[in-house]
Structure 1
Amino acid sequence: MMGLVGEQWPRAAAEGPGVGLRERKKAKTRAAIQQEALRLFRERGYEATTMEQIAEAAEVSQSTVFRYFPTKDELVVSDEQDAFFLQAWRAQPADLPVLSALRRAIQETLTSLSPGEFRAQRDRDVLMVTVPGLWAASLGNINQTTQMITSLVAERSGRVESAPSVRALSAAIFGVILSAMIRWAGDPDYDVARDLDQMLAHLDGDLRAGSVPD
């Protein structure tokens, strides 16, 4: 979800029961390529890094890099965390309100990341915010994220996606996530998990107080 909660091989699916050895190897190869690419982008700059250098760092051929990531942009904009977030969302109690379920699912997703994965998420955010071409390339993920949020809000609230209340809440949630993403990109010491949860808690409090129309 835009690097916070956004189309790689789903990690949850790749690690789940019944997944074959070949699929697990493919998932690990893909993740390794992207992590090495993000490291090189951070150290050398996005424009200065070549696909050949990425392949060498990941210890794979260039053809393997292109098989998983047809373009250089996709090394940044592709994100596997949506699948894990959806799994966490589905696991929340059915009677839990929308924002409470969302807060729990996001926190479970973020805390599940290894230090390397967490660093990679921030690297992606920095690149998408600072490289104009990548911001444009990420529009597809933005549309996917907004649609996913709308669908989840409608599903849990028992309303249709076109309902004004659903669209208003979904837009507010997306705004909170985008705000956290932009701030995280500019501040390496920013506690994104804590602040994101606090902002969503304030939004939840406003709704419960009736300051936001249903």
Structure 2
Amino acid sequence: MNIRSVAAADEGGTTVGRQERKRRKLYDQLYDTAVGLFVAHGFEATTMDQIAEAADVARATVFNHYAQKVGFLEEWGVRRRARVAEILGAEHAEDLPVDDRLHRYLKEMADLNIASRAETTVLMDASARHGRLLQDPSLEIELARIVEEGRLRGEIRAGVDSDQAGALLAACYFSTILRWIREEPAPFDLHQRLRGALGIILRGLLADSTDSEAS
């Protein structure tokens, strides 16, 4: 490759990078605008036209980035899970015992919900009504992965199905959040409720032989 070709390739790479940055910036702008409108006016009452107007872009531009309004709800969930993964990654949480790791994961999720309760109330409710909140396997896959890593380290019983455990934990999380957003002010301490639920799941409901003997 001659010098001119190298220069052209570099220029092309710069152009592609710039275009991607612009695309991502607009994607984020539309997301922030939509979430703000959802919180202010409700998910159902907000239209794609209103999002376009508030973001000062053409209606077609919104649809180019988010084919459906529900896409904003899916992106909201993706960003929350990514934020928790970033926090736990920085803390090297993968080195913790599986029970501590699950507690830390749910704690960080709870922290995000508490810090933005109004946003969580609107978008979690909308996700349950209009999105794929209970069908999207993303959270249960992440939790199942943590359980499976614990099983491989001998911290989880060999007979435990990691996928089933992940689904159970995700369902518990979502049902707890949906009850938590139902009333204002919050009807219970979210951290405490999630800790208690996780403790029950980790220990199981039936007393083992040592518990029976102790009683």
TM-score under structure 2 normalisation?
Answer: 0.65
Match of 1:184 in 2: 180
Kept in 2: contact 1:51–1:62 (CA 8 A): yes
1:164-207 superposed Cα distances (whole Å, 9 cap, x missing partner): 34244323312321221221331243243442233223433548
Post-superposition shift, 1:101? 0.5
Letter of the 2:165 counterpart = L
- Residue 175 to residue 89, structure 1, CA distance change in 2 (3 Å): same
Letter of the 1:174 counterpart = A
Query: Greater CA radius of gyration, 1 or 2?
Result: 2
1:22-60 superposed Cα distances (whole Å, 9 cap, x missing partner): 777755643443343234334444343221101222334
Match of 2:108 in 1: 108
CA distance in 2 between partners of 1:25 and 1:156 (Å): 41
Match of 1:125 in 2: 124
Letter of the 2:144 counterpart = T
Kept in 2: contact 1:77–1:124 (CA 8 A): no
Match of 1:86 in 2: 85
Q: Percentage identity across aligned positions?
A: 25
Match of 1:150 in 2: 144
Q: Secondary structure at the match of 2:107?
A: helix
Post-superposition shift, 1:158? 0.9
Letter of the 2:111 counterpart = T
- Give the 5 Å matches for 1:17-28: none
Kept in 1: contact 2:142–2:166 (CA 8 A): no
Letter of the 2:175 counterpart = S
Match of 1:52 in 2: 49
Give unpaired runs (5+ residues) of structure 2. 1-16, 210-215
Q: Secondary structure at the match of 2:162?
A: helix
Match of 1:63 in 2: 60
Give unpaired runs (5+ residues) of structure 1. 1-19
Q: 2:162 aligns with which of 148, 154, 166?
A: 166
Deviates more, 1:191-200 or 1:25-34: 25-34
Q: Secondary structure at the match of 2:181?
A: helix
Structure of higher RCO (CA pairs closer than 8 Å, 6+ residues apart): 1
Tell me the matched-pair count.
184
**More helix per residue: 1 or 2?**
2
CA distance in 1 between partners of 2:117 and 2:111 (Å): 9
